[in-house]
Amino acid sequence: MDFGVIDCHAHIFPPLAGACGFPDAATHLLHQQRAMHEHGNQPYRRASDNSIVTERGLWSATDSSVAGRRDGKFRVGRCGRFEWDIDGEAQYVQFLPPYMADMSAPAEVIVRQMDYAGITTAVLHNDHIYGDLAEDFSAAANDNPGRFIGLAQVQESWAWQDSEIARMTRQVEQRGMRGLYFTYSGLFRNGYAKRPSDPEYDAFWREVTRLDLPVFWVHRDGSPFGRYEDELADLELILQRHPTIRSVLVHGLPTARYADGDDRLTLPPVVERLMTEMPVSAELLYPISWGGRFEYPYAKSMHHFRHLVDRFGSGRFTWGSDMPNVERYCTYRQTFTYAWEHADFLNAEDRRAIFRENTLALFRRP
């Protein structure tokens, strides 16, 4: 290898039971409870016998606003768990690896993990689960030159307001954030009252354009806006009005959703349009999404990976790990080697693009 590998999706965070940059711990906990309600890769379990629980008791099934939150004494546990009580019964989800005793991922630890896995630089995603962490990212980047690229964060439900636009600008111009993390799940704060494609948001997207920020988008299936493809259609409307915004689909394309019994993919029109007509790329992140169902090296994923590269070209993809979450399934180095060592259809130019240059090309700010 003659280049440094860049991980386009990683995290650092302080102990999660605290405010972690939010105004208070209660606001942080609100976001965490909503996230665990939506989380589907890991099952809910009873604490008494570790048996799987199928009922989703953290939030109302019919009210996606803050009012739909259920009181189950939801809390941040230890050793990778979020915990709560339903009818006096303790339940949990193993969201993080069990070794994370205090639910933190200090920059020093992640840098050592990167060294061990052979990773040069990591893009730090600023998700509400972990906090409002631009200040932490800035300190980590200053303490570890060349190792971290930080993303800014906003409250998506009212990102169109002047106060949120100004907050994003401060994170970029004063804290050195070089991109924006934007999750549609964050819209629960106002009950999905507005769509990010609504005209009210145009001032926000104009500022994103002025700052020349790439946007890392998180979409989900079954939100009040509809299916995953419906949220992508909303993104398409944004990019039609603000066509220079460079975009990344976080967690990658859900190819299992589009595969038949022989693993042939039929991608929906909105995916085809985004990936061919607009400045949109997608993460390659199979271990975090497939690790609960398949064993390393996720051989089945290579069929999907190859289809995507054949269809859209290697210039449309960035490799990422979702470290440290992914270590509930496999080691950090395995998140790299499953693709590096087993995607034999990639040539040297493809590898350099996917594992380095495509990510670097997203970030134009110094």
Residue 292 belongs to a domain with what CATH number? 3.20.20.140
pTM for the full predicted model: 0.97
Chosen domain end from 43, 75, 94 = 94
Instruction: State the total domains in the chain.
Output: 2
Q: What is the spatial distance between Cα 311 and Cα 45, in angstroms, rounded to a whole number?
A: 40
Cβ–Cβ < 8 Å for 296, 287? yes
The reply to whether 162 and 202 lie within a common domain is yes
**Average predicted confidence (pLDDT) for the chain:** 97
Asked if the structure places residue 260 within a domain, the reply is yes
CB atoms within 10 A of CB 223: 18
Domain encompassing residue 227: 6-14+104-362
**Side chain identity at residue 260, one-letter code:** D
Domain assignment of residue 61, yes or no: yes
DSSP sequence for 223-264: BTTBSHHHHHHHHHHHHHHSTT--EEETT---GGGGB-TT--
Domain final position from 43, 72, 94: 94
Same domain, 207 and 78: no
Residues 155 and 199 in one domain: yes
Instruction: Please tell me what DSSP assigns to residue 280.
Output: E
In this structure, the answer to whether residues 248 and 326 fall within a common structural domain is: yes
**Residue 212 sits in the same domain as residue 251:** yes
Identify the domain boundary among 94, 118, 134: 94
Q: Is 126 found in the same domain as 70?
A: no
Instruction: Based on the fold, state whether residues 291 and 237 are members of the same structural domain.
Output: yes
Taking the CB of residue 357, how many other CB atoms lie within 10 A of it? 16
Please, are residues 246 and 211 in contact by the beta-carbon 8 Å criterion?
no
What is the rounded average pLDDT of the residues 59-87? Answer: 95
pLDDT value at 73 more than 90? yes
Query: What pLDDT is stored for residue 103 in this prediction?
Result: 98
Residues 259 and 118 reside in one and the same domain: yes
Residue 366 has pLDDT above 80, yes or no: no
Is residue 176 in some structural domain?
Answer: yes
Please state which of the ranges 7-11, 85-89, 129-133 shows the lowest mean pLDDT: 85-89
Residues 32 and 123 in one domain: no
pLDDT over 80 (residue 287) = yes
pLDDT above 90 (res 72): no
For residue 335, what pLDDT is reported?
Answer: 97
Query: Does residue 99 belong to any structural domain of this protein?
Result: no
**Are 84 and 45 spatial neighbours (Cβ–Cβ below 8 Å)?**
no
Q: Are residues 240 and 355 in the same domain?
A: yes
Q: What is the pLDDT of residue 41?
A: 93
**Domain match, 56 and 202 both:** no
**pLDDT tens per residue across span 317-338:** 999 999 999 999 999 999 999 9
pLDDT, tens only, 88-145: 999 999 999 999 999 999 999 999 999 999 999 999 999 999 999 999 999 999 999 9
